[in-house]
C-alpha cells in the first residue's frame, strides 16, 4: 500500500555543540580569529571559559513532581512517604487550589524539570546548612570552633577549661587546655580547639551529636505532617477580598497573566546551575566549610537576639494601596531552597510543662521561652545566584504570618516544601538582613505558598510547593543571611 510508512521508528538524540549555550561574556581560551600571522588568538587575552566545547545532547529533563517527592523524602524523615502515597491514591491534590496553581506555574515547572537544580539542592553546600548544629562547627574539618552562647566555655581551673555543648537537651562536656585562646566579640566568645588535642572518643561523640542536632530540625517534619493530617478537622476557609494581606496574593496568583517569575531560559540562571553542577562548585573546600560554620554561628546568634527582643512578634503592616508582588518579572537573583514550617499548639495534658504550649522548630541556640518550645516559624536553607554569576548559601527564618481577619482562629501549621524565589537585587548580598513580608500558605496534604516583600528598593517573590497541613496568611518578619562563596564564571581550576 502507498502512503506514509506507519511503522514505529527508534527515537534519536541529535548531537549538538555546546558553545552556543555559554553566557555571552564567557569565551573559550585558545580559539577565535588571529589578529596577525605572528600573534596569538585574541581570546588568550581574555579570561578562559569555565569549560571547553564538547559534543552534547539536549537533556531529557526530570519530572518535577517526582523530584520534589524524592528530595522531601530524603530531608523530612519518616511519615512523608505515607502522606505522598495517600495523596496519590485518593487524589486529594484536587482540594489544594493554591498548591495546584504553584505547581502549574510554567517558570516553576521549567526550573524544577532540570536534574541539575536538585543535584545542587542535595549538594555539600546546602547540606552544610541543613546539618549545622548549634554552637559547634564541623569537627571533622579543621579546628573545632565552639561559640558561647549557645555552648558554654568555662573558666580556667587547674590549667584546663570545661566545654559544654548542648544538642537539643543532650549535652557533651569535655576539658581542653586552658592555654588555648578565647576571642571575645561583644557578648560572644569564640574558641578554636585543635582536633589533635581531643581524644578520639570525644571527637566521635561530637560529630554524631552535631549531625543529629542539625538534622532534627527537618527530620521530624514528615511525621508531624502525617499526624497533623490524621487529627485535623475540616474548617471553612476565608474568602479572598482585595484588601486583606496574604489573601490578595492568592488572588493575584490566579488572575495575573504576568508572573514575577521570569522565563529562566531567557536568563543566565539555567546555565549557571548547569555550570555549577558540571564543575562541582558546590563541593566545599575546608576553608569554605570553616567559613560557613562561622557565619551560621553568627546567624543563629542574631536570630536568638531578635527572637528574645520580640522582633519576630511585631511585623510591619504593609501598605494596602499596592501589592508587594510586582506585575513584571524579577530576574536579578534566583534562590532555590528547602523549607520547613512548624507551629503546633499542644494542650497541657500532653505538654511536658503541664501547661498549654507551642511547639516550634528546634533551631540551634534558641532556648525555650515560657510555654513556647523552640522557634515557631519557618526555616529555609538553599542556594542563590545573581546575574553576575555570584553564588552562595542562603538561610532564612521568619515567624508565622499574622492575619488581620477578626475571628479567624489560629491553627496548627506544619509544612515541608521546595521554594523558588526571585528578586530584583543586583547582588546576592542585597538579600541579607531583616525585612517585613506578606504571604499565604495553605496545606491540605498538598501545600502551596506565596511570599513577597518590598524593602529598600529590593523586591522579592517566592512560591513553594510540598506537603503540609494548616493555614497561615498575613504579614510577618524575615531574617536572611547570604554567605557568598564564589562565581560560576571564575571556577576553581582543577576541580571537576
Cβ-Cβ contacts under 8 Å for 314 (sequence gap 6 or more)? 477
**Tens digit of pLDDT for each residue in 434-484?**
998 999 998 888 899 999 998 888 999 999 999 998 889 888 999 999 999
DSSP alpha helices (H): ranges in 197-325?
200-219, 221-231, 247-255, 269-278, 286-308
- What integer is the mean pLDDT of 155-163? 82
Q: Where are the beta strands (DSSP E) in 304-432?
A: 333-346, 357-359, 372-373, 377-386, 390-398, 413-423
Q: Does the pLDDT value for residue 162 go beyond 50?
A: yes
pLDDT of residue 374: 81
- What pLDDT sits at residue 187? 67
- Residue-level pLDDT at 492: 57
Cβ burial of 163 (10 Å; 0-12, 13-18, 19+) is: buried
Number of C-beta neighbours around residue 143 at 10 A: 16
The helix (H) or strand (E) run that includes residue 476 is strand 458-487
Q: Which residues make Cβ contacts (< 8 Å) with residue 246, sequence separation at least 6?
A: 401, 403, 438, 439, 440, 472, 473, 474, 475
Outline where 384-436 has alpha helix (H): none
Question: Range with the lowest mean pLDDT among 73-82, 257-266, 303-312, 390-399?
Answer: 257-266
The DSSP 8-state label assigned to residue 350 in this structure reads G
> 106-115, 306-315, 453-462 — which is least confidently predicted?
306-315
Q: State how far the alpha carbon of 443 is from the alpha carbons of 37, 343, 480, in Å.
A: 68, 13, 24
Tell me, what DSSP letter sits at residue 91? T
Q: What is the dihedral of CA 248, 253, 257, 263, to 10 degrees?
A: 130
What is the number of helices (H) and of strands (E) in the chain? Answer: 11, 14
Grid cell 566545654 is found at 163
Q: How far is CA 397 from the centre of its chain?
A: 10
List beta partners, residue 473.
440
The span from the CA of 184 to the CA of 190, in Å, is 6
Tell if the pTM clears 0.75, that is, is over it. no
Q: Are 285 and 141 in contact (CB under 8 A)?
A: no
DSSP state, residue 41:
B
Cell of 310: 520580640
Kind plus residue range of the DSSP H or E element containing 301:
helix 286-308
In this prediction, residue 153 carries a pLDDT of 82
Which of 425, 433, 421, 430 minimizes the C-alpha distance to 480? Answer: 433
Q: Which residues contact 8 (CB under 8 A, 6 or more apart)?
A: none
Q: What end-to-end distance do the CA atoms of the chain give, in Å?
A: 56
Q: Looking at the DSSP assignment, which residues form a beta bridge with residue 438?
A: 452, 475
80: left (phi over 0), alpha (psi -120 to 50) or beta: alpha
Please give the pLDDT value at position 421: 96
Q: What is d(CA 446, CA 96) in angstroms, rounded to the nearest whole number?
A: 6
Q: Compute the average pLDDT of residues 42-55.
A: 43
SS3 183: strand
The torsion angle over the Cα atoms of residues 297, 298, 299 and 304, rounded to 10 degrees, is: 90
Helix residue ranges, H only, 113-172: 115-121, 124-130
Q: Cell numbers at residue 123, please?
A: 549538594
Cβ proximity of 442 and 450 under 8 Å: no
Tell me the pLDDT band of 186, cut-offs 50, 70 and 90. low
DSSP class of residue 56?
B
Amino acid at each position: 500500500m502507498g502512503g506514509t510508512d506507519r511503522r514505529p521508528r527508534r527515537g534519536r538524540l541529535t548531537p549538538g555543540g555546546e558553545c552556543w549555550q555559554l553566557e555571552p561574556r564567557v569565551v573559550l581560551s585558545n580559539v577565535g580569529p588571529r589578529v596577525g600571522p605572528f600573534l596569538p588568538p585574541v581570546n588568550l587575552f581574555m579570561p578562559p571559559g569555565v569549560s571547553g566545547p564538547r559534543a552534547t545532547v539536549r537533556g531529557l529533563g526530570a519530572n518535577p513532581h517526582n523530584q520534589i517527592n524524592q528530595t522531601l523524602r530524603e530531608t523530612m524523615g519518616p511519615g512523608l512517604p505515607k502522606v505522598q502515597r495517600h495523596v496519590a491514591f485518593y487524589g486529594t491534590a484536587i482540594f489544594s487550589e493554591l498548591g495546584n496553581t504553584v505547581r502549574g506555574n510554567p517558570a516553576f515547572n521549567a526550573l524544577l524539570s532540570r536534574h541539575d537544580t536538585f543535584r545542587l539542592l542535595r549538594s555539600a553546600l546546602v547540606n552544610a546548612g541543613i546539618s549545622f548544629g548549634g554552637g559547634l562547627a564541623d569537627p571533622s574539618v579543621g579546628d573545632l570552633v565552639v561559640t558561647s552562647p549557645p555552648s558554654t566555655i568555662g573558666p580556667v581551673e587547674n590549667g584546663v577549661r570545661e566545654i559544654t555543648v548542648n544538642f537539643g537537651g543532650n549535652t557533651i562536656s569535655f576539658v581542653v587546655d586552658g592555654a588555648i585562646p578565647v576571642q571575645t566579640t561583644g557578648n560572644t566568645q569564640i574558641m578554636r580547639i585543635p582536633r589533635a588535642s581531643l581524644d578520639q572518643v570525644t571527637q566521635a561523640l561530637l560529630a554524631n551529636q552535631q549531625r543529629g542536632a542539625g538534622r532534627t530540625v527537618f527530620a521530624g517534619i514528615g511525621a508531624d505532617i502525617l499526624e497533623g493530617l490524621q487529627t485535623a478537622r475540616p474548617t471553612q476557609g476565608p474568602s479572598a477580598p482585595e484588601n486583606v494581606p496574604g489573601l490578595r496574593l492568592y488572588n493575584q496568583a490566579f488572575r495575573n497573566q504576568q508572573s514575577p517569575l521570569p522565563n529562566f531560559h531567557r536568563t543566565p540562571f539555567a546555565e549557571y546551575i548547569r555550570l555549577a553542577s558540571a564543575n562541582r562548585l558546590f563541593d566545599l573546600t575546608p576553608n569554605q566549610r570553616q567559613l560557613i560554620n562561622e557565619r551560621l554561628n553568627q546567624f543563629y546568634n542574631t536570630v536568638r537576639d531578635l527572637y528574645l527582643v520580640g522582633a519576630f512578634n511585631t511585623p510591619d503592616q504593609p501598605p494596602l494601596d499596592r501589592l508587594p508582588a510586582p506585575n513584571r518579572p524579577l530576574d536579578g537573583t534566583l534562590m532555590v531552597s528547602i523549607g520547613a514550617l512548624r507551629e503546633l499548639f499542644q494542650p497541657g495534658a500532653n505538654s511536658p510543662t503541664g501547661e498549654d504550649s507551642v511547639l516550634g522548630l528546634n533551631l540551634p541556640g534558641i532556648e525555650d521561652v515560657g510555654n513556647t518550645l523552640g522557634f515557631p516559624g519557618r526555616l529555609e536553607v538553599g542556594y542563590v545566584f545573581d546575574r553576575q554569576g555570584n553564588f552562595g548559601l542562603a538561610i532564612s527564618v521568619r515567624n508565622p504570618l499574622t492575619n488581620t481577619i477578626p475571628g479567624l482562629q489560629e491553627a496548627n501549621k506544619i509544612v515541608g516544601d521546595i521554594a523558588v524565589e526571585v528578586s530584583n537585587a543586583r547582588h546576592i548580598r542585597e538579600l541579607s538582613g531583616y525585612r517585613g513580608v506578606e504571604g499565604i500558605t495553605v496545606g491540605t496534604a498538598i501545600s502551596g505558598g506565596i511570599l513577597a516583600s518590598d524593602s529598600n528598593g529590593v523586591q522579592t517573590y517566592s512560591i513553594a510547593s510540598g506537603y503540609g497541613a494548616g493555614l497561615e496568611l498575613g504579614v510577618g518578619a524575615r531574617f536572611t543571611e547570604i554567605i557568598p562563596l564564589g562565581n560560576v564564571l571564575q571556577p576553581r581550576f582543577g576541580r571537576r
